[in-house]
Structure 1
Amino acid sequence: MTTSTVTAAGTAGATAPGLGFGVHFTAHMVVSRWTPAEGWAPLELAPHGPLSLSPAAMALHYGQAVFEGLKAYPAADGSLALFRPHVNADRFGRSARRLAMPELPAEMFLDACERVVRADAGEVPRGHGQSLYLRPFMVAVEPSLGVRPAQEYLFAVIASPVDYFFAGGYQAIDVWCATDQIRAAPGGTGAAKCAGNYAGSLSAKAQALANGCHEVLWLDAAEHRWVEELGAMNFFCVGRGENGVDELITPGLSGTILAGNTRDSLLTLAAGLGIEVAQRPVSVDELTAGDGRITEAFACGTAASVVPIGAVTAGSGRALIGDGLPGKVTTRLRDELAAIQYRQQADPYGWMHAVELN
């Protein structure tokens, strides 16, 4: 593997007042390789730059590629902390197992993330809503066209200074209900964070954009009736429960939905704030009925944090969710989560993992 330092816009060392998401990259990355004989090689801090791969690298042909996404958040005192990195490390291992790839020890995953943050601490943006996004990934690099699990893998962590995932910042988005495509099916790879899941979603995303929407609302594979995810994020809504009290609702994890770190955190936060929580199926008809029972909806994930959903376009047309604006529960959960991440209030759950800086 060879690396080189690059400084053009969109590559290492380039920053700008409007960071966007995943456009600029920091100066360093961490890499390691795995072989059956040697296992994982020691982590190496290297300049961010191109990777040297054989055109027969198996990831390019058979899609053995998994990744994670997590953030390092700045605090007012200058310190930096990762948000629940052990959750990402565990999911990285589950994704690797599903794709017949070697598991990376959780402590090695954490060490790699800390090394990148420590090396590039001076590049972490500190404006409102800004953070350092980390992208750990693993790809099969053995040069072979045999249809089998590869015998050589590359693990790396790169970093990108980011602000809001959506250019408009915190505002409600319109979503397009995909009825002729699916994201995942039972027995498939829906619960793994693998590259192929995202490749398969892109044509539907293009369809959503062509219809004036920001993202795709994914339905189940069997009936095309039940809401599963929103783009690459988990889905939530707020509705009236059987006891007449508003409750936070999200589809239960069933093997076709990614177990999101942010999803789990919001469920914990909601319970702690006294908000009733229900994990149950939500039909697209219930979501778009317009009968006042569903008052808010939002999506969540590491990249975008909490994103309000203002309207859903489905077969029956465009339906507003509530008044089409970010709801009170949505905004409260977003603010509570951000206050912990940026250490503006106490962290009662021990979620923030401090990175010791040089």
Structure 2
Amino acid sequence: MASLDIEHIGKRFGTVEVLKDIHIGIGHGDFLVLVGPSGCGKSTLLNIIAGLDTSTSGAIKIDGKAVNHLEPKERDIAMVFQSYALYPSMTVGENIGFSLEMAGMPKEERRKRIAGVADLLKIGHLLDRRPSQLSGGQRQRVAMGRALVREPKIFLFDEPLSNLDAKLRVEMRTEIKKLHARLGATIVYVTHDQIEAMTMATRIAVMKDGILQQFGTPADIYDRPANSFVATFMGSPAMNLLDGEIVARGNSTALRLDGVQGDAAILPIPATADPSALTPGQKVTLGLRPEWIAEPGTGRARDVQSLPFTIDVLEPTGPDIFLALRLGTVEIMGRLPADAQVREGETRILDVDYGKAVLFDRQTGTAIYAAPALSRAA
């Protein structure tokens, strides 16, 4: 395992800038997930780390040493691809041990290394089979085994689960996380799936249009999103965004929601926000996650705002119920336990855990936080 520093990496294809000053650092044994929509530059960044592509600017450092000038085989990195990339004419054992054979490792030592990895991945009984005889999940384990057997400093995963069905994705996600816990390996993992990012990572880098939007722990990203893009991209259902305006209220300020009438239209400034950064007339957006909405008396929140919601649609999912709600003319998603006593078509008071609410500047999308400031990448 090793530390990895991605120092101000930029990448251009002609006049098109696909990576813009990406700066991230992780320590020994970290599990970094690069997440973002298609085309955000995450796979390009992974290829630059691997040495399969070159950066226009910046440096990649492993254990403090720049590796930009090194060929992929000299970086002591192993990569697991989305397509598995197994040799169809070779057995599972031959696929796993191919890199060791090319490196000139003696046959007996190679056999022990292959057997150890196969036992770790629970594919020892498959060593004599060909890839065509394997399921998708088994092929992915073989691809992982081929990377593990080299015992590299860093493992790179490029959307390795995207070809699997939903059930297998969950199973393999768990297996990769177990593997990380056993090996203490340093991993960089690319995905567009925010559930994979939240469940697997020790550190997450959220990207959009080649720009690093936020870098932090899963809790940082989820509870204190740096901007409205991160807030809506991370989480399912997405965070609700309600437009409003800062208004004067006596000697202080308050939030007036657009599209809402009566007392429910005026809310206090959320505790997470910095009132000194707000001025009357400023256009803002209030962020509320669906699970912060609860039936009265059922939540544990200390700072509660009770508001009248109209329930348009109920969507049972098994353990939860998703609710399509309206506050005035504003549409909101809620998430309640499966046994919640709610009915479609009714208007009723629901509690909002307002102590977690986030305020964003509507023009820039940037979150307006009170001290201490959010820790993010430089």
Specify the TM-score bucket, using the shorter chain as the normaliser.
under 0.3
TM-score (norm 2): 0.21
Larger Rg: 2
Structure with greater proportional helix content: 2
